[in-house]
Amino acid sequence: MHHLDVRDLTADYAGKPVLKGVTFTVTRGAIVSLIGPSGSGKSTILRTLTGLLRPSGGEIRLDERQLDYSRTADVAYARQRMAIVFQQYNLFQNMTALRNVTVTPEKIRKRDKREVEAEAVALLQKVGLGDKLHAYPDELSGGQQQRVAIARALALKPEILLLDEVTSALDPELVHEVLDTVRLLAAEGMTMITVSHEMGFVRELASNVMFLEAGRVVESGPPQQIFEAAKEARTRQFIGKTLYR
Amino acid sequence: MHYALHYGQVTPYLPYLLGGALVSLWISVLAFAGGLVIGLLGAFGRIYGGPLLSRLIYGYYIFFTNTPQLVQIFFLFYGLADFGLLLTPFEAVWLGLTLNAGAYLIEIQKAGFLSTRLSELEAAETLGMSRWQQLRFVIVPHIARVLYPPLSNQFIIVIMGSSMGAIFGLEELTGRAVNINGQTFRALEVFSLAGVIYLGVTMLATVGLALAGRLLLRIPLRIA
Amino acid sequence: MHAVIEQWPRFFSGPNVLFLATALLNTVLLSLASCCIGLALGFVIASTRLTRSWALLPLRLLLIGLTEALRRIPPLVVLFLVFFGFSLFQIDMAPFAVALIALTLIATAFIAEIVRSGFRSIPREQWDAAATMNFSLAQTLRHVVVPQAWKIVVPTVSLFFVMFIKDTALASQIGVLELTFVGKSFIDRGFSPLLSFGTVLLLYFLLSFPLARAGQWLEARLASS
């Protein structure tokens, strides 16, 4: 049974079509990486899945259940099961790292405060920030903030983790600490959909790579295929230009 | 107790009311013009005058911006008579509006003048512009563009302030509404109508000024 | 000028000073009460304008219309509307209450706009992050937006309050015993205008200027933190 099943997804932004019919499936424990030039719609797919953008057409099925993103109940259901980590981390500026991680489970999901806090501490330690529990976002580096954002997403116990260019806003030296965290999660079997420019990383971890251009999937397959023996010329062109990033 | 709205009794007075709007605009234009002059002189005084002059002007500013306009006009209307200067209601209201607007315009214009950027002047100089040319092609256009929005805004504020003329018997929009009320006792109808006309006048003025700014000074239109 | 010196002791007699003090108190009460209620209502209006449901659209449009109108109609006209509204429907209302209602309506309209700007100053990303974690609008406001926006909203509202003290002078026109009314009444009793309105102007100034300074300090302080 597929975990996530997307068919012919279309979406518009500011009146213009951004996704023009995207189809893909994600199996449990898989890591699907979306690559492609800017504006190809990669982040739009993630934003649509998490309800920030309403799709104009297509079907989205989570565990065989079809989701209607025009219904708030379905959007809430999707957000319960999929957690997103943003390129700009989007941590709540008025909260410490610990609070950022505990606020949703405690205040929104109404779980027990002590349990939530214990889990949050463990998560922050897991991403290597056990000593920064009470730091505010403006006291943390970009890499640290991103790791808090990952911990925050994990605190939601998502079935699928959406990573939207999580290293693109970081200074190069800080990229590896975030990638290490993602490696850890991959090793634990977390289902992930990532949008990334880090080709080496994609190649190492992804179980399936999708190359998108202008709102459509050009080619999809395992990393070996996409990176070494792509079927489409466009794919080969893109890989050739970006391989040594 | 119930009161039925009868706009029919008030609509015949519509031309009279609209005429009042014109009077409001006229007073506002006169007061704003006077205020601009005060603002200009005051701004120069604050920038180029010595510390004493600057402080005096600043004192004028904080006095007029920390006291109510109505009391300022009352003071002028009744107080100047003590010094032998008898002002008609129109003169007192105009003077009060002018002095009040002038205070705000001093600070607005001062900020505008001080906003000229050294980098622009240096660029103009290296391009071989004379002082006069720098003034004409660089300084004045820049200042005009910076000053236009706050000045437009202040004009709208003056229009709103002109309604106080009614208290002194002036026949501007509010004053005429008061007169109509005195004749027909249809207060809700006439004052709501006056309100709508004020809305129309201020919105037209805002849009008109914004468009003029766009056309004449190439100030980009902003949707608030 | 000699009139001022001559009338001085009579002007500042016990009862007169009491009269002035009462008027000053009423001025302060009018401004403070209308701004406090205005803050509460303004917050509610600004929050309501953030809702997205179709069901609330008529309400949102009504609120937008009212706040835009009340900010563009001269306060005197609003005051007359409320005053005559009550009197024509034969509802017996004390002048103070009438003025308070009219001034509160105006203050609410302006403060609602200030709060709305405060909300809009919070970056889109903060709203997005909350949304993706299933925060309701109320929860987003409570946990994320208000804790960040208050630093801009509170000083701006304070400065508005100081400016609004001047608008309470219009309440004199419907008979409220505030500073402007009292100043006029002194003139009617024969005192020199210089002395009467001079004193009133000074009192307004002493009320407004220090508060304005305090508000600017608060603004600077919160902006840097």
Q: What is the pLDDT of residue A35?
A: 94
pLDDT, tens digit (0-9, with 9 covering 90-100), for B122-138: 888 888 888 788 778 88
Chain C hits for A48, Cβ within 8 Å: none
Decide if C197 and B75 are in contact by the 8 Å CB cutoff.
Answer: yes
C-beta atoms of C143 and A80 within 8 A: no
Main-chain dihedrals φ then ψ at residue A210, nearest 5 degrees: -115, 130
Strand ordering across the sheet containing A208-213 = A82-85, A160-164, A191-195, A31-35, A208-213, A216-221
Residue with tokens 């004409």: B136
Residues in chain B: 224
Contact status of C144 with chain A (Cβ, < 8 Å):
yes
- What backbone torsions phi and psi does residue B218 show, to the nearest 5 degrees? 55, 40
Across the range C120-126, mean pLDDT stands at: 95
Q: Does C150 touch chain A if contact means CB atoms closer than 8 Å?
A: no
- This prediction has a pTM of 0.91
Per CB-CB distance under 8 Å, the chain C contacts of B203 are: 72
Q: For residue C178, give the chain B residue with the closest CA.
A: B71
Give the pLDDT band (50/70/90) at residue B118.
confident
CA distance A3 to A63: 5
**Distance (Å) of CA A90 to CA A97, A151, C122:** 12, 13, 12
Nearest CA of chain C to the CA of B197: how many Å?
9
Asked whether the beta carbons of residue C180 and residue B81 sit closer than 8 angstroms, the reply is no
The CATH number assigned to the domain holding C144 equals: 1.10.3720.10
Choose the mutation target among A104, A116, A146, A157 for the interface with C, i.e. most C CBs under 10 Å. Answer: A104
Classify each residue of B24-50 as buried b or exposed e, where b means 16 or more C-beta atoms within 10 Å of its C-beta.
bbebbebbbebbbebbbebbbbbeeee
User: Looking at this predicted complex, what is its ipTM?
Assistant: 0.92
Torsion, Cα of A162, A167, A170, A172 (10° steps) = 170
Q: b vs e for C58-93, b when ≥16 Cβ sit within 10 Å of the residue's Cβ?
A: eebeebeeebeebebbbbbbbbbbbbbbbebeeeeb
Dihedral of CA atoms C16, C17, C19, C22 in degrees, nearest 10, equals: 180
A169 shares contact with chain C (CB less than 8 Å):
no
For chain C, say whether B81 makes contact (Cβ under 8 Å). Answer: yes
| Nearest-by-Cβ selection for B195 from C81, C90, C91 | C81
b/e string for C100-129 if b means 16 or more Cβ within 10 A?
Answer: bbbbbbbbbbbbbbbbbebbeebeeebbbb
Residue C8 lies in a domain: no
The answer to whether residue C134 neighbours chain A at the CB level (below 8 Å) is yes
Burial (CB count within 10 angstroms: exposed 0-12, middle 13-18, buried 19+), residue C57: exposed
pLDDT over threshold 80, residue B224: no
Report the amino acid identity of residue C61: L
Mutate to test the interface with C, among B66, B75, B156 (most CBs of C within 10 A): B66
Burial environment of residue C183 by CB neighbours within 10 A (0 to 12, 13 to 18, 19 or more): buried
Chain C residues with CB under 8 Å of A80 CB are 134
C156 vs C153: CA distance, rounded Å: 5
Q: Which residues contact A10 (CB under 8 A, 6 or more apart)?
A: A17, A19, A20, A21, A22, A55, A56, A57, A58
Q: What is the rounded distance in angstroms from the CA atom of residue C4 to the CA atom of residue B183?
A: 41
Say whether B195 and C200 touch across the interface (CB within 8 A).
Answer: no
Chain A: partners with 3+ C-beta pairs within 8 Å? C
> What does the domain layout of chain B look like in residue ranges?
13-217
Pair of tokens at residue B142: 């820049």
**Do B82 and C173 make contact, defined as CB atoms within 8 angstroms?**
no
The number of domains in chain C is 1
Q: Chains near B, with 3+ CB pairs < 8 A?
A: C
CB-CB contact of B152 with B213 (8 Å): yes
| Full residue range of the structural domain in which residue C81 is found | 27-224
Q: Which of B69-73, B148-152, C191-195 has the lowest mean pLDDT?
A: C191-195
Residue C131: its chain A contacts at CB < 8 A?
A: 51-52, 79
Say yes or no: C71 contacts chain A, CB-CB below 8 A: no
Rounded percentage of chain B residues whose pLDDT exceeds 90: 70
Q: What is the pLDDT of residue C169?
A: 97
Find the mean pLDDT for residues B194-222.
89
Q: Do chains A and C touch (3 or more CB pairs under 8 A)?
A: yes
Cα C119 to Cα C48: distance, rounded to the nearest angstrom: 12
Residue range A37-67, pLDDT digits in tens = 988 999 999 999 999 999 999 999 998 899 9
- A93/C139 Cβ within 8 A: no
Binary contact (C129, A91; C-beta < 8 A): yes
How confident is the model over A91-119, as a mean pLDDT?
A: 96
The first and second tokens of residue A105, run together, are 């489970």
The H-or-E segment that residue A219 falls in is strand A216-221
Contacts for C58 with CB less than 8 Å, ≥ 6 apart: none
Distance (Å, whole) CA A13 – CA A39: 11
Q: What is the mean pLDDT of chain C?
A: 94
Among A residues 95-124, those touching chain C with beta carbons less than 8 Å apart: 95, 103-104, 107-108
- Tell me if A36 sits within 8 A of A44, measured CB to CB: no
pLDDT for res C67: 96
Tokens 């190492």 identify what position?
A204
User: Considering the domain boundaries, does residue C9 fall inside one?
Assistant: no
Task: Render pLDDT for A186-196 as a digit per residue (tens, 0 to 9).
Answer: 999 999 999 99
Q: Which residue of C has its CA nearest to B81?
A: C193
Q: What is the pLDDT of residues A129-186, one digit of tens each?
A: 999 999 999 999 999 999 999 999 999 999 999 999 999 889 888 899 999 999 999 9
Min Cα–Cα distance to chain A from C169, Å: 40
Is any Cβ of chain C less than 8 angstroms from the Cβ of B2?
yes
What CATH code would you report for A4-242?
3.40.50.300
CB A244 within 8 A of CB A70: no
For A15, the token pair is: 């009146």
What is the residue whose two structure tokens read 């009146």?
A: A15
Residues within 8 A of C (CB atoms), B 29-48 only: none
Nearest CA in chain C to B24: C74
Position A171, amino acid: D
Q: What are phi and psi of A242, to 5 degrees?
A: -115, 0
Interface check for B72 against chain C (CB to CB < 8 A): the answer is: yes
The CA distances from residue C98 to C103, C167, C178, C179, in Å, are 9, 14, 13, 17
Tally of CB atoms within 10 A around C47: 18
DSSP line for B73-98 = HHIIIIIHHHTT----HHHHHHHHHH
Q: What is the DSSP letter of C142?
A: I
What pLDDT is attached to residue A138? 94
Q: Do A79 and C133 touch (CB under 8 A)?
A: yes
User: Which stretches within B69-185 are classed as H helix?
Assistant: 69-74, 80-82, 89-114, 118-126, 131-134, 140-161, 173-184
| Average pLDDT taken over every residue of chain B | 91
Evaluated on CA atoms A94, A163, A116, A180, the torsion sign reads negative
Q: Does the beta-carbon distance from C192 to B3 stay under 8 Å? A: no
Q: How many C-beta atoms surround the C-beta of residue C215 within 10 A?
A: 20
Asked if C144's CB is within 8 angstroms of A83's CB, the reply is no
Is chain B in touch with chain A: ≥3 Cβ pairs within 8 A?
Answer: no
Whether residue C134 and residue A80 make contact (CB cut-off 8 A), yes or no, is yes
Question: Between the CA atoms of C164, C166, C171 and C173, what dihedral angle is there, to the nearest 10 degrees?
Answer: -150
- If you search the block for the tokens 């700014």, which residue do you land on? B213
> Could you tell me if A79 lies within 8 Å of chain C, comparing CB atoms?
yes
Asked whether the beta carbons of residue B195 and residue C77 sit closer than 8 angstroms, the reply is: yes
Distance set, CA A9 to CA A5, B17, C136 (Å): 10, 59, 27
**B13-217 under CATH 3.90.1210.10, yes or no:** no
Q: Cα–Cα distance between C86 and B211 in angstroms, integer?
A: 41
Contact B181 C84 (CB under 8 A): yes
